[in-house]
Structure 1
Amino acid sequence: MRKIFLGVLAVTALAFTSCSDDDTTAPSTSVLNVNINGLENLGANFKYEGWIIVNGAPVTTGVFTVDDSGKLSKTSFVVSSAQLAVATKFVLSIEPANDTDPKPADTKILAGDFTSNTASISSSGIVGDFSKSAGKYILATPTDGMANNERSGVWFLDNSSGSATTGLILPTLSAGWKYEGWVVMNGTPVSTGTFTDPAKADDNAATSTFKGGMGNGPGYPGEDYIQNAPTGLTFPTDLRGKKIVISVEPDPDNSTKPFVLKPLAHDVPADAVDHKAYAMGNGPVSAITGTVTR
């Protein structure tokens, strides 16, 4: 009887120990919460993807989309507890909808370091810091050789000194991003072209369908709206009273319209004269921010 009793005690003790070990086992997954305002709908061909940096390498936390009101399709993501605990940074990128690359694309839009269990994320440190951005432009149409429609073109240069100099003061963008100029005409944004260096002509200087036939214009970003107007508009036109905008666009671009980041903007004065430099002001959105908690 004594041996049987001792055996029962041993089994009971083993069972208790096993249960205790199970109770203290750490969970294998944890939840990462994302809170971001200001992102835009990327359409059907692109998506947002989050990443944590673990031992210097990116680990995906999952993908989400954003609707037209800016609401995220998903804000909580289940990830490895062990990896999340040692993650040093969070990064958000823009990825093709059918992406097969296991690494983040160049179009990284938000990033921030973890401090304890929170990361304050911003576009300023990963796309560019636009806090000191400034710009000037003139109205002119150098590509058509005519003097009767000089207020139908915009060029981002400064001629205040008597000779043309760079009109835009903008930071160098990270890989995966480009600048683009716009004129909003009767509610329709019409591009002046994309560029990465404000001291050089934009990417479509030689191929623009809007410009005239007398060359490509000065070696700075800009556009003459002389021909081939979009539906609903007429070229040549008069840019007085229109809005001039500089946006920051993902490359490859997700849309033919301006992206949400717009560091510079200006309403052309109703009494503006051609070949005079006008200063731009701050745009409606110079940074996107948010927080991530683990």
Structure 2
Amino acid sequence: MIKKMCLAVLAIGIFATACSNDDGNAPTTATLTLNLDGLEALGSDYVYEGWIIVDGAPVSTGTFSSVSFPQSFIVDASQLQDATTFVLSIEPAIDPDPAPAATKLLAGDFSGNSASVNSNGIVADFSSASGTYILATPTDMDDTNEASGVWFLDNSSGSPVAGLNLPTLQAGWKYEGWTVLNGTPISTGTFTDAGMADDNATSSPFKGSTGNGPGYPGEDYLQNAPSGFTFPTDLRGATIVISVEPSPDNNESPFTLKPLAHMVPNDAMTHTAIAMGSGPVSIISGTVNR
């Protein structure tokens, strides 16, 4: 009898150990796959970083620089299963802050094992964006080069008003105007409020010497031309673009979000309001699967 009891106890112990081993073999990691459309490479000082929101707190899923998709990341299985939302941010490549930066680009809630993510709710919704500009060079006294400047204002009523109808951006983003001359984008300056002068209104290297221009975003291309160009120039035939840029931004080229654009007509008149059209990219989107 004692021998049988010992064997029974031993059997129970083996069974308990087997159950424990089975539990210990449960996977502790899982795969998160990103398939995003429209991202462009960042400057060398910045990377993209994914985050899952677990119990209201962000958990990093890893950083990446390549914009070729799909891309997969190994994350904690239980955290991934409990995640409610995915967020993509832009972070410094060397980042001492473990929290997400203000520059968040994509977000979306999980439904089952996938999340549809886009930039509309976390950057801004550009579906109603519109714009008007004029050709003029108000920062000098020479009236022979008026086609060498672009200003985002509307003077069709006889008095200038803001020419850009743009939504307020979330923290971490700024607007930037561009003139694309012979395939090369040249900035008109950054701004956050279309009803005010842009950030370099007083310090632009391109403007003339007799003033800072009207209190709206814009630029006169009158001096200090980049290599390969001659200022003053003629912007007719060039393309005017409004982009949305991460702030801070170390890339001298326009970011992928470009809600407004327009090719200046070859017969465009100076000091006359010209309407812009929709840009090539007003939303970035994709899917995230767990």
TM-score (normalizing by structure 1): 0.95
Q: State whether structure 2 residue 210 is matched by structure 1 residue 211.
A: no
- Corresponding letter in the other structure for 1:39: L
Q: How far did 1:30 drift? A: 1.9
| Corresponding residue for residue 17 of structure 1 | 16
| Corresponding residue for residue 28 of structure 1 | 28
| Corresponding residue for residue 75 of structure 2 | 79
Q: How far did 1:114 drift? A: 1.4
CA distance in 1 between counterparts of 2:234 and 2:193 reads: 27
| Corresponding residue for residue 135 of structure 1 | 131
Question: How big is each residue's C-alpha offset from its partner over 1:29-77, in whole Å with a ceiling of 9 and x where there is no partner?
Answer: 22211111211111321111111111221111111112xxx315x8222
Q: How far did 1:115 drift? A: 1.6
Q: State whether structure 2 residue 48 is matched by structure 1 residue 48.
A: yes
CA distance in 2 between counterparts of 1:56 and 1:20 reads: 33
Q: How far did 1:12 drift? A: 2.5
Tell me, what secondary structure is at the counterpart of 1:174?
A: coil
- 2:243 alignment partner, one of 242, 247, 252: 247
Deviates more, 1:249-258 or 1:37-46: 37-46
| Corresponding residue for residue 93 of structure 2 | 97
Q: State whether structure 2 residue 110 is matched by structure 1 residue 111.
A: no
Tell me, what secondary structure is at the counterpart of 2:133?
A: strand
CA distance in 1 between counterparts of 2:250 and 2:208 reads: 28
CA distance in 2 between counterparts of 1:106 and 1:114 reads: 22
| Corresponding residue for residue 187 of structure 1 | 183
Unaligned runs of 5+ in 2: none
CA distance in 2 between counterparts of 1:173 and 1:282 reads: 18
Q: State whether structure 2 residue 167 is matched by structure 1 residue 171.
A: yes
Tell me, what secondary structure is at the counterpart of 2:78?
A: helix
Q: How far did 1:10 drift? A: 2.6
Match runs of 1:119-158 below 5 Å: 119-158=115-154
CA distance in 2 between counterparts of 1:11 and 1:145 reads: 100
CA distance in 1 between counterparts of 2:91 and 2:4 reads: 66
What is the aligned residue count? Answer: 289
Tell me, what secondary structure is at the counterpart of 2:175?
A: strand
Unaligned runs of 5+ in 1: none
CA distance in 2 between counterparts of 1:121 and 1:254 reads: 25
Tell me, what secondary structure is at the counterpart of 2:3?
A: helix
TM-score (normalizing by structure 2): 0.96
CA distance in 1 between counterparts of 2:118 and 2:13 reads: 52
Q: How far did 1:24 drift? A: 4.3
CA distance in 2 between counterparts of 1:176 and 1:20 reads: 51
Q: State whether structure 2 residue 199 is matched by structure 1 residue 200.
A: no
